């Protein structure tokens, strides 16, 4: 009997969506397993959202709870807003992975355990006093005991690889098992493996063999009474690809360069979780992209200021404490009134904090965190694919108003993946860059209708002028200590940033235009809030949702929108920073919903609060 025939005999359950989590030690390849599973469902046309979860310690001891790495994906037939609240299926490669994740799994959910890793020593290392596979503590789940380690070793006994190298292939066994269990083909994955390991064909062949072995085991094993089919999605026609937030941001910056005809410069110091933007752009140098890996954060932004002065589209990226280190140079960029973009991929803090975990705690720093009166426009992306559009928007503001712009993402957006409908390049708005070349009547700090000073390339005849961190004369740009001139310059720099609000489109409200409850969010909370609102609306609750891209200045019509609702709820992954800004500007009381656990909101957390307030 063929594998296909056996599969047909098995009960096939049809689902609208499913949540799967892969967890194991840092060296078990769970990020690769999850991302490859994501690629498989993406190719099948499903909507999906992912949440990679990395350990904070670089080399946590093997088998400890500190070293557990995970990857969660939700995919389904309709639009998928989040990676899911609770896994329907968990693949745990060792005791530490099981211990740290089992409480999240739905009651009655599938738990596939690599029993080969459940030795007495590994149980102790994970903090177990008894074997959970034997003590009845897992009775509320459907547990499948599979010795993935031994089965992988058996499949590769003739591969010629060392024992350690064979062990590194067990993630592909797990991938093959789950692809079979959820009705996915492995042929495309086999092609991907050969491409990924093209320079090491021995490892490519071994991983393919492990993948086939996992698929065959799931196909033949009688322990699985059912397999699962997730309904296909009805997506808008177009060409799609899977994309992470960091990759989308990198492509957006390259698009800005291409649309403007101006070269892109990135000056950056590697820091988690922003480094991938540097990685991506360094591979795109054929698009007139220059990347400079600086020796520290200060050098990164100072090189960017120099590139902006030289006429490039200048960019720097950072996260966590790196943003604090860039602060002094940010003030210099504001004083010089040069266009550049600063990407802050937020993470848990303060100090080193939770460098691989999600948080939105840098909003007030972005708005206020510099010495002196030092205003900067601040925008934020709401999802991985939205990073592309926000990258374009950040540079549009920067060059139109001759100002630095801060773009906020976070670790959840940066590393997560979702489908992205590739835009028609011909329909992207042009990014106009104008350098002044007419020296007649030139004054370095004379301003246009947007209060922006002219952008002059160094060496342009007749337009030589001073730059530096000391206060400038209102027109000549010469050093000035005149009290009234300083007052005037401070006011005009603030007015220029405030004027960027004239380009903010009318605030979009999802749901009723007025009523009982408005949920206001920003950044990566979008998917959670959107799904919670839809569920509440289906239950007959009157609830609307506004999600902000422009955070400083805020949309000019936002106060009027807030006034149309009895209650305003503001969920954010900090201690209430947007809530403070809304109260300050609009004198409107709001209800904060805060979380600082290094984890995103669950849909249920926001939904439960909506029910309490509506």
Query: What's the average pLDDT block by block, 10 residues per block, for the chain (614 residues)?
Result: 48 94 94 95 92 87 92 94 97 97 97 96 95 94 96 95 94 97 93 93 95 95 89 84 96 98 98 97 96 98 98 97 97 98 97 95 97 98 98 98 98 95 92 95 96 96 92 95 98 98 98 97 98 96 97 98 98 98 97 97 98 95
Write the Ramachandran bin of 293: left for phi over 0, alpha for psi from -120 to 50, otherwise beta. beta
C-alpha distances in angstroms, 381 versus 249, 307, 521? 10, 25, 11
Tell me, yes or no, if the two domains 3-230 and 241-427 fold the same way: no
- pLDDT for res 27: 87
Q: In 3-state terms, what secondary structure has residue 495?
A: helix
d(CA 304, CA 325): 14
Q: In 3-state terms, what secondary structure has residue 549?
A: coil
Task: Please list the residues that pair with 346 across neighbouring strands.
Answer: 410
Q: For the chain, what are the domain ranges?
A: 3-230, 241-427, 515-613
Q: How many CA atoms lie within 13 A of 552 on its CB side?
A: 26
Its pTM stands at 0.94
155 burial (CB, 10 Å; 0-12 / 13-18 / 19+) is: buried
CB 545 within 8 A of CB 510: yes
For the packed helices 30-43 and 187-196, what is the interaxial angle rounded to 10 degrees?
Answer: 130
Q: In 3-state terms, what secondary structure has residue 310?
A: coil
How many Cβ atoms from other residues are within 10 Å of residue 106's Cβ? Answer: 16
Task: Please list the residues that pair with 78 across neighbouring strands.
Answer: none
- pLDDT for res 62: 87
CB 273 within 8 A of CB 598: no
d(CA 475, CA 480): 11
- pLDDT for res 9: 65
CB 347 within 8 A of CB 357: yes
Q: Which CATH architecture has domain 241-427?
A: 3-Layer(aba) Sandwich (3.40)
> 3.20.20.80, 3.30.420.40, 3.40.920.10, 3.30.479.10: which CATH number matches 3-230?
3.40.920.10
User: What are phi and psi for residue 504, nearest 5 degrees?
Assistant: -75, 125
Structure tokens at 116: 């080969």
d(CA 539, CA 137): 35
CB 449 within 8 A of CB 434: no
d(CA 77, CA 172): 26
Report the candidate in 106, 32, 25, 38 with the shortest Cα–Cα distance to residue 67. 25
Q: In 3-state terms, what secondary structure has residue 499?
A: helix
Structure tokens at 152: 């992988």
d(CA 176, CA 22): 13
Structure tokens at 296: 């520290």
Report the candidate in 422, 23, 8 with the shortest Cα–Cα distance to residue 236. 422
How many Cβ atoms from other residues are within 10 Å of residue 520's Cβ? Answer: 25
515-613 is classed CATH 3.40.50.920: yes
Distance of CA 96 to the CA centre of its chain: 26
Q: In 3-state terms, what secondary structure has residue 92?
A: strand
């Amino acid at each position: 009997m063929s594998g296909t025939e056996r599969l047909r005999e098995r009960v096939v359950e049809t689902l609208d969506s499913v949540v799967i989590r892969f967890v194991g030690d840092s060296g078990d390849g769970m990020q690769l397993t999850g991302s490859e599973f994501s690629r498989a469902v993406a190719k099948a046309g499903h909507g999906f959202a992912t949440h990679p979860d990395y350990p904070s310690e670089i080399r946590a001891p093997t088998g400890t709870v500190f070293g557990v790495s995970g990857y969660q994906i939700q995919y389904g037939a309709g639009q998928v807003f989040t990676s899911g609240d609770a896994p329907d299926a968990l693949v745990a490669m060792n005791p530490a992975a099981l211990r740290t994740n089992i409480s999240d799994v739905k009651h009655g959910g599938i738990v596939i355990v690599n029993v080969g890793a459940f030795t007495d020593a590994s149980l102790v290392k994970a903090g177990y006093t008894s074997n959970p596979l034997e003590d009845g503590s897992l009775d509320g789940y459907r547990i499948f005991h599979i010795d993935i380690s031994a089965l992988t070793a058996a499949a590769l006994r003739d591969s010629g690889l060392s024992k350690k190298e064979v062990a590194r292939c067990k993630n592909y066994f797990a991938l093959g098992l789950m692809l079979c269990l959820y009705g996915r083909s492995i042929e495309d994955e086999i092609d991907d493996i050969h491409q990924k390991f093209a320079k090491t064909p021995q490892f490519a062949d071994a991983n393919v063999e492990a993948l086939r072995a996992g698929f065959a085991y799931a196909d033949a094993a009688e322990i699985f009474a059912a397999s699962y089919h997730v309904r296909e999605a009805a997506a808008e026609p177009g060409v799609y690809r899977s994309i992470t937030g960091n990759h989308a941001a990198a492509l957006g910056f390259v698009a800005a360069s291409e649309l403007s005809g101006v070269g892109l410069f990135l000056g950056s110091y590697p820091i988690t979780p922003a480094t991938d933007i540097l990685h991506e752009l360094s591979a795109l140098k054929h698009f007139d992209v220059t990347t400079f890996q600086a020796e520290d954060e200060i050098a990164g932004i100072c090189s960017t200021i120099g590139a902006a002065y030289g006429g490039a589209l200048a960019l720097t990226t950072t996260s966590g404490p790196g943003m604090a280190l860039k602060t002094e140079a940010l003030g210099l960029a504001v004083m010089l009134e040069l266009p550049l973009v600063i990407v802050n991929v937020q993470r848990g803090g303060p100090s080193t904090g939770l460098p691989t975990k999600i948080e939105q705690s840098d909003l007030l720093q972005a708005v206020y965190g510099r010495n002196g009166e030092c205003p900067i426009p601040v925008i934020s992306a709401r999802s991985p694919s939205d990073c592309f559009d926000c990258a374009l928007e950040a540079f549009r503001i920067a060059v139109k108003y001759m100002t630095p712009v801060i773009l906020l993402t976070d670790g959840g957006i940066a590393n997560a993946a979702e489908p992205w409908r590739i835009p028609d390049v011909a329909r992207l708005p042009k990014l106009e860059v104008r350098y002044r070349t007419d020296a007649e009547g030139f004054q370095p700090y004379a301003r246009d209708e947007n209060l922006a000073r002219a952008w002059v390339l160094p060496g342009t005849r007749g337009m030589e002028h001073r730059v530096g961190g000391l206060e400038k004369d209102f027109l000549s740009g010469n050093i000035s200590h005149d009290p009234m001139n300083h007052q005037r310059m401070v006011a005009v720099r603030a007015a220029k940033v405030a004027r960027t609000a004239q380009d903010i489109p009318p605030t979009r409200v999802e749901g009723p235009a007025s009523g009982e409850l408005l949920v206001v969010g920003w950044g990566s909370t979008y998917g959670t809030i959107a799904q919670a609102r839809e569920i509440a609306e289906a239950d007959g609750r009157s609830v609307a949702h506004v999600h902000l891209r422009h955070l400083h200045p805020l949309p000019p019509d936002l106060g009027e929108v807030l006034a149309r609702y009895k209650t305003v709820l503001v969920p954010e992954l900090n201690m209430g920073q947007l809530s403070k800004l809304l109260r300050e500007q609009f004198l409107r009381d709001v209800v904060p919903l805060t979380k600082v656990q290094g984890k995103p909101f669950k849909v249920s957390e926001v939904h439960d609060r909506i029910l309490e307030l509506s």
